[in-house]
Amino acid sequence: MTLTPRSPRGALPASLLCCALAGCKGGDGGGDTALNADCWQAALFTDRVADPANSDYPDPSMSVGCSDTTLVVESNGIPDYEFVPITPNPMEAQDHLWEIPLSPVLDDGPTELPLLGSVGFTISGLPIQTPNEAENPDPYGDPVYNGILDFCYGHIGGDNDYHLHALLIECITSMAAEGEPSPILGFALDGFPIYGPNGCLDAECAEFVTFTSGWVQTGDPSTYAWDNYAFTEDDDPLTLDQCNGREQPDGSYGYHATTGFPYVLGCSMGTEGIAESNGGGGGVPDCDDVDEGMPCCGDGTCEGPETEDNCPADCP
């Protein structure tokens, strides 16, 4: 699949370039309750330009601002590259609203992701979803493995929303440069940045590396993705943690997009954001936490998260 040539992104001011390439801590939002664009996070978002091939759809739109404590992003979720239909669902403009902390805080430990839902958003205003599909067409399968995504690893969901399950740098920003650390591609809902796969092992960047996921395939992820990958911890500094992140050279925390599962996030490291925004839960819900209409729990009787159709004995 070939994408049409894309309009160049706007460049960051020199004073903020370090933030895009290596990450910076915090930022003074200024003002009281009115939003402004003085925080470094907001400076990463540049204007979207409609692709001529998408003339049948609304133009992409996005607004970004900061309060003293929060980054606020509104987007209609329309990509600024050529949209190629993969699913039968039509693409429609959305009313995305994301509010994340400017100074995210690490929790005492990782929090499982919801089975379905968004875990973050890109600096191009597109939602990032969990690394599994819904019950159809393949029950909770890995959409990357199943090849049901476009060139930029996105497709249309059941709400006629375009979203991404993995990240390709050139589909999001032109800030990436060969031989330099990957720029920030977006933010998780807990507030921590999401970088591309390349980075430095120390502040001087004496060693430039590509980070890899610590998750390994253990079965057939065409269905029940979370049951067919497992995280294996090791001492290799190139291997990311369970959530697909690491401590950055400046001491802050950040996630990295990788070519292997879970592609963006494997869990959440922040104290707020992802679980709260998506109703809580994890990859496979506990029996006591399953509500009516939710996937049934995995208790060993059937494989993976069940439904009333494929495993009625395991549904409450």
What are the tens digits of pLDDT across the range 102-136? 999 999 999 999 999 999 999 999 999 999 999 98
Task: Name the region of 211 (left: φ>0; alpha: ψ -120 to 50; beta: rest).
Answer: beta
Q: From CA 81, how far away is CA 245, in angstroms rounded? A: 28
The secondary element (H helix, E strand) that includes residue 195 is: strand 193-195
- Single out the residue of 198, 194, 132 nearest to residue 163, CA to CA: 132
3 state SS of 120? strand
Convert the pLDDT of each residue in 157-212 to its tens digit.
999 999 999 999 999 998 767 778 899 999 999 999 999 999 999 998 888 899 99
Q: Quick check: 6 pLDDT over 60?
A: no
3 state SS of 262? coil
Measured CA to CA in angstroms, residue 237 lies from 201, 254, 261, 263, 298 at distances of 8, 14, 18, 18, 34
∠128-259-224 over CA atoms, to 5°?
65
Convert the pLDDT of each residue in 20-73 to its tens digit.
333 333 333 333 345 666 789 999 998 889 999 999 999 999 999 999 899 999
pLDDT given at position 138? 87
Q: What are phi and psi of 287, to 5 degrees?
A: -55, -40
Q: From CA 240, how far away is CA 228, in angstroms rounded? A: 19
pLDDT given at position 286? 41
pLDDT given at position 311? 61
pTM tops 0.75:
yes
Provide CB contacts within 8 A for 11, sequence distance 6+. 175
